[in-house]
A and B are shown apart, each in its own frame.
Chain A
Amino acid sequence: MVHAALVDSLNTVSSSLLRPTSESERLASSSARVASEAELRSLIRGLGGVDAVGVEARSAKLATRSLKKASKVAAIDLAISMVDLTTLEGADTPGRVRSLCTKAMYPDASDPTTPSVAAVCVYPDLVAHARFVLGSSPVAVASVATAFPSGRASLQVKLLDVAEAVAAGADEIDMVIDRGAFLSGRWGQVFDEIVAVKAACGSAHLKVILETGELVTYDNIRAASWIAMLAGADFIKTSTGKVTVNATLPTALVMLEAVRDFSELTAQRVGVKVAGGIRSTKDALKYLVVVNETAGSAWLHPDAFRFGASSLLNDLLMQRRKQRTGAYIRPDELSGD
């Protein structure tokens, strides 16, 4: 009956929508940002379009930045601390999750100066196992929920999914938006669902997965970013990692522009998580450059930027050792996942 209580609390939120006088006041109050779907639509349309050619040219230019020496060493450590070490397979086992948690806390056992990663990201049924291993360590437990990855379930099922993950000890919930509703123009439904999930999260942080590969256009990605932020997302996240097109540099650029503009209006910092297909240190550093030059260094922190990845961590560790010793190590010297 958990979900019934959550639906009730959502209804309370909806019925208490206020209409403060100025736009900034209204936007600053997270539960009362949008009174109707029409208002949501006009607000997002007012942002104007995104020019695909321009976005891709800008990200390609930023990708030519060259991080060397101390800035490279610092960036690698920062990237490690931003990793959501992820395993989202049907074949996941408690043992695999426990191993992953140990690696998350001590990524490079031979070098205790290596920072721990930000979080471990698992399916809801494995949250308890992760919680048990991580205990009170600073590494958070993140869980995908809301019928991940497709999101094709009723709101009640999604909320129950979230509630169970939170009850099992998840600190962060990675939800998926209803792409069907978004693409058919039912933005209000997408918004309401995020509001409901946010309420179900309680004190857990909410990351909203836009599944940008299914939204396709940058205009859609910007619109979905704003819907999620207005609905109370703590993070907006590119992808599930389960479709053909996952995180790309221009997509991240559009989302970072969105969080930057949102913070200017509301003074709230919404984080960005890029996920899927980021495997090399070189790629990770390109994302950090885009963060730095788009949203600013206030986002260069695990509280505001994350990499959803698995194999990326070992490449970061390899490059970290290379920076310190001048030589590459054999891949087998690092634990697999």
Chain B
Amino acid sequence: MDSNLPSTLGSFSYDPAPESAAIARLQSSYGLFINGAFTAPENHAQFATVNPATGHVLATVAQASDADVDRAVAAARHAYETQWSKTTGAERAKYLFRIARLIQERSRELAVVETLDNGKPIRESRDIDVPLAAAHFFYYAGWADKLEHAGFGPAPQPLGVAGQIIPWNFPLLMAAWKLAPALAAGNTCVLKPAETTPLSALILAEILQQAELPAGVVNIITGDGSTGSALVQHPDVNKIAFTGSTDVGRLIQERVASSHKRLTLELGGKGANIVFDDAPIDEVVEGIIDGIFFNQGHVCCAGSRLLVQESVAEEVTRRLLRRVDQLRVGDPMDKNTDVGAINSAAQLARIEELVEWGEREGATRYDANCTLPSEGFWFKPTVFTNVDQSHRIARDEIFGPVLSVLTFRTPEEAVAKANNSVYGLACGVWSEKGSRTLWVAQRLRAGVIWANTYNKFDPASPFGGVRESGFGREGGRHGLEAYLNV
């Protein structure tokens, strides 16, 4: 039933409330962080990193060459052999606690840098990315002197030098997810941030200096895919941890297959958010919104497929579209922005291509009623209804603010549809009936299953996928296993 009253949701105007970009204190160019010091920027070829919300250059960063990768790995090896592997757990914990506290102290600066470089709303970088990054260091600081009690044998040993390659969607948080357990377990690291979002990792390098972390324990090298490739193939690296696309993950797995290197991969996903007819409907709508529009949908575990029970599909869709129109899309630095900019022109092109496929294959497209800024990379929050299981938008990872709505009639059908994917990273189940939630959860093939919520992260909770979403876990006790010789 439609309202006779006009919909005025969210029409009360909020004036712009921008966070100050000056807080970022960015330099015009950056070198590499190797052996505890920054190299001179002029010693390297430089490439630009842009603010995706404006298209303007923020700074230039160094393109690490093969020789730079070599030096970084050598520094990490030296630090491992001479120092870090001999340091007691309590001593390692001391540094991790320091790093965590320094992240908190510089949280405002980190949030601003993250938003400028990535395009995500400042509300999210301020309330989610940065606090969670600090929380990961605090959490693994606690494990550092208790490894023998972690269930991996009486004296678990570190692996050595870990090469870590992280994506652009949560630059600082992914650095924390990688570094904290590796350092707690006694490894040394060479971290390569993503090409389009290197800046927060370089601020983190400053923090490591402030924390007086011994030289070489963490090295941070910026660059494109060739840098990552050199790191993956370096003979003196004992472990590769990669978060990113399934295609690149597959390539990395091929490259390390003939080596002694350990590997963990956290790859793509096509998360199903399953809504039963007894679910709390207003919270369901919020959960769907958080599931797909959080971080512009640039989330590997995004709830990009909505599976809704047919009997409530109309009601849920009506409320969902009303809510989509309420999203505040625009300047990521504005404290009231809900959805920010797409991270890069390349990603925008990919989203546009898949959305075109959605229309071509006959799904019904709904664009959020919002205006987009004229500069930078933007895409309106989009909902496709009348989506079939065979449509590309129901199968391929879009990695953008695009939701595909499908329906089901029975729990069996919901499970079958949710599992009909090459991925297996995350799912959500919404129901007031606990027994049904558990029945469904036991049958879903996914690493993470949320009940009556979505996209909730905690350092104590392991995260990772099955099938083409990768292997290995980050977070929790399980996250230590990826960095211990067990």
| Neighbouring A residues of B13 by C-beta, 8 Å | 71
Q: How far is the CA of A300 from the CA of B14 in the complex (A)?
A: 14
**Are A64's CB and B123's CB within 8 A?**
yes
**Are B17's CB and A292's CB within 8 A?**
no
**Are B14's CB and A50's CB within 8 A?**
no
With contacts A72-B15, A267-B4 taken as known, whether A48 is within 8 angstroms of B10 at the C-beta atoms is no
| Neighbouring A residues of B9 by C-beta, 8 Å | 292-297
Within 8 A of B (CB), among A55-86: 55, 57-58, 64-72, 75
Q: Mark B435-473, 1 if CB is under 8 A from A, else 0.
A: 000000000000000001100000000000000000000
CB distance from A13 to the nearest CB of B (A): 25
Q: How far is the CA of A67 from the CA of B10 in the complex (A)?
A: 13
**Are A71's CB and B15's CB within 8 A?**
yes
**Are A54's CB and B280's CB within 8 A?**
yes
Residue B281 lies at the interface, judged by CB distance under 8 Å to chain A: yes
Residue B279 lies at the interface, judged by CB distance under 8 Å to chain A: yes
With contacts A65-B336, A288-B12, A296-B10 taken as known, whether A53 is within 8 angstroms of B452 at the C-beta atoms is yes
Residue A257 lies at the interface, judged by CB distance under 8 Å to chain B: yes
Residue B11 lies at the interface, judged by CB distance under 8 Å to chain A: yes
* Closest residue on chain B to residue A294 by CB atoms: B9
With contacts A51-B280, A51-B452, A54-B287 taken as known, whether A292 is within 8 angstroms of B3 at the C-beta atoms is no
Q: How far is the CA of A66 from the CA of B16 in the complex (A)?
A: 9
* Closest residue on chain B to residue A70 by CB atoms: B15
Residue A265 lies at the interface, judged by CB distance under 8 Å to chain B: yes
**Are A298's CB and B335's CB within 8 A?**
no
Residue A263 lies at the interface, judged by CB distance under 8 Å to chain B: yes
Q: Mark B271-294, 1 if CB is under 8 A from A, else 0.
A: 000000011111100110000000
Residue A264 lies at the interface, judged by CB distance under 8 Å to chain B: yes
Q: Place the interface of chain B in its size category.
A: 20 to 34
Of the candidates A267, A269, A293, the one whose C-beta lies within 8 Å of that of B326 is A293
**Are B8's CB and A296's CB within 8 A?**
yes
**Are B17's CB and A68's CB within 8 A?**
yes
Q: How far is the CA of A68 from the CA of B19 in the complex (A)?
A: 12
Q: How far is the CA of A57 from the CA of B278 in the complex (A)?
A: 20
| Neighbouring B residues of A296 by C-beta, 8 Å | 7-11
| Neighbouring B residues of A70 by C-beta, 8 Å | 15
**Are A297's CB and B12's CB within 8 A?**
yes
With contacts A51-B280, A65-B336, A297-B11 taken as known, whether A57 is within 8 angstroms of B127 at the C-beta atoms is no
Q: How far is the CA of A300 from the CA of B9 in the complex (A)?
A: 11
With contacts A54-B453, A267-B3, A293-B10 taken as known, whether A49 is within 8 angstroms of B280 at the C-beta atoms is yes
Residue B5 lies at the interface, judged by CB distance under 8 Å to chain A: yes
Q: How far is the CA of A248 from the CA of B28 in the complex (A)?
A: 47
CB distance from B283 to the nearest CB of A (A): 3
Q: How far is the CA of A170 from the CA of B278 in the complex (A)?
A: 43
Q: How far is the CA of A64 from the CA of B6 in the complex (A)?
A: 27
With contacts A49-B278, A66-B17, A68-B17 taken as known, whether A300 is within 8 angstroms of B453 at the C-beta atoms is no
| Neighbouring A residues of B280 by C-beta, 8 Å | 48-51, 54
Residue B432 lies at the interface, judged by CB distance under 8 Å to chain A: yes
Q: Mark A129-143, 1 if CB is under 8 A from B, else 0.
A: 000000000000000
Residue A24 lies at the interface, judged by CB distance under 8 Å to chain B: yes
**Are B286's CB and A64's CB within 8 A?**
no
Q: How far is the CA of A265 from the CA of B3 in the complex (A)?
A: 7
Residue B42 lies at the interface, judged by CB distance under 8 Å to chain A: no
Q: How far is the CA of A136 from the CA of B6 in the complex (A)?
A: 32
**Are B279's CB and A48's CB within 8 A?**
yes
CB distance from B395 to the nearest CB of A (A): 29
With contacts A49-B278, A264-B1 taken as known, whether A66 is within 8 angstroms of B336 at the C-beta atoms is yes
Q: How far is the CA of A19 from the CA of B14 in the complex (A)?
A: 45
| Neighbouring A residues of B283 by C-beta, 8 Å | 50-51, 53-55, 58
| Neighbouring A residues of B5 by C-beta, 8 Å | 263-264, 267, 269, 298
| Neighbouring B residues of A51 by C-beta, 8 Å | 280, 283, 452
**Are A64's CB and B15's CB within 8 A?**
no
Residue B2 lies at the interface, judged by CB distance under 8 Å to chain A: yes
Q: How far is the CA of A75 from the CA of B279 in the complex (A)?
A: 35
Of the candidates B2, B11, B452, the one whose C-beta lies within 8 Å of that of A264 is B2
**Are B282's CB and A67's CB within 8 A?**
no
| Neighbouring B residues of A57 by C-beta, 8 Å | 286, 453
Max count, chain B CB within 10 A of own CB: residue among A49, A70, A288: A49
Within 8 A of B (CB), among A253-271: 257, 263-265, 267, 269
**Are B14's CB and A67's CB within 8 A?**
yes
| Neighbouring A residues of B1 by C-beta, 8 Å | 24, 264-265
CB distance from B12 to the nearest CB of A (A): 4
**Are A50's CB and B282's CB within 8 A?**
yes
Q: Mark B316-337, 1 if CB is under 8 A from A, else 0.
A: 0000000000100000000110
Q: How far is the CA of A257 from the CA of B286 in the complex (A)?
A: 13
* Closest residue on chain B to residue A23 by CB atoms: B1
CB distance from A66 to the nearest CB of B (A): 4
Q: A48-B278, A53-B283 are in contact. List 4 more A-B contacts (CB 8 A).
A: A51-B283, A67-B17, A263-B3, A296-B10
Jot down 11 A-B pairs with beta carbons below 8 A, ordered by A: A24-B1, A54-B280, A57-B453, A58-B286, A67-B14, A69-B16, A257-B282, A263-B3, A267-B3, A292-B10, A297-B8
Q: Which 9 A-B pairs have the closest CB atoms?
A: A54-B283, A267-B4, A296-B8, A66-B17, A51-B283, A292-B12, A297-B8, A51-B280, A66-B335
